[in-house]
Amino acid sequence: MSVTSNSTLAPKHQRLILVLIALFVLIAAGLLAAWGLRSQADYFYLPEDIAENPPEPGRAIRLGGVVQNGSIRTLNDGVTIAFAVVGREGNAVPVTYRGIVPDLFVEGSGVIANGRLAEGGTFEAETLLAKHDENYTPRELEGLSDEAMHEVLEESAAQ
């Protein structure tokens, strides 16, 4: 009787090797995705976070808070605005923004600014997002009673 040597792996070992290869590929893909998105991610900061642990200058971040009352002013070029964003603890971060300001951007309202912290501590915003609550009322309807507002809405719906 001759004994032949079978060089193929047992099915159990083949499955183990396939599982290990699949696991390796998944880990490699996850690491590549994380490395690629690392430079795209904007970290969210509150004014308190910037006061306690400021990010390195030039790093893209998102700053969220409330526009400080009395802080909005237009600079000499007529396009750039400067204002301050405050948090719950009263820390204020000076912000400059050059561009079109959202309609809902007013003092005392919530704001999220995307940009970078400059060397002097001023946040240079590239985009502004004005936050509003769920009770938004168009400017045309501000100051109207609930009954008058419903009448206007019914008239516009009938047309």
Domain residue extents for the chain: 43-130
On the 0-12 / 13-18 / 19+ scale of CB atoms within 10 A, 143 is exposed
pLDDT at 144: 66
Q: Which residues pair with 117 in a beta bridge?
A: 123
Q: Which tops the pLDDT comparison, 56 or 137?
A: 56
Q: How confident is the prediction for the chain on average, in pLDDT?
A: 83
Task: Show the tokens assigned to 127.
Answer: 């985009």
CA geometry: angle 117, 118, 120, nearest 5 deg: 120
Contact present, 113 and 95 (Cβ < 8 Å): yes
pLDDT 10s digits, 119-137 = 888 999 999 998 776 666 6
Mean pLDDT in residue range 65-71: 92
Domain 43-130: give its CATH architecture: Beta Barrel (2.40)
pLDDT at 158: 66
Percentage with pLDDT > 90 across the chain: 38
Q: Which tops the pLDDT comparison, 101 or 156?
A: 101
Q: Which tops the pLDDT comparison, 67 or 120?
A: 67
pLDDT at 159: 59
Contact present, 85 and 63 (Cβ < 8 Å): yes
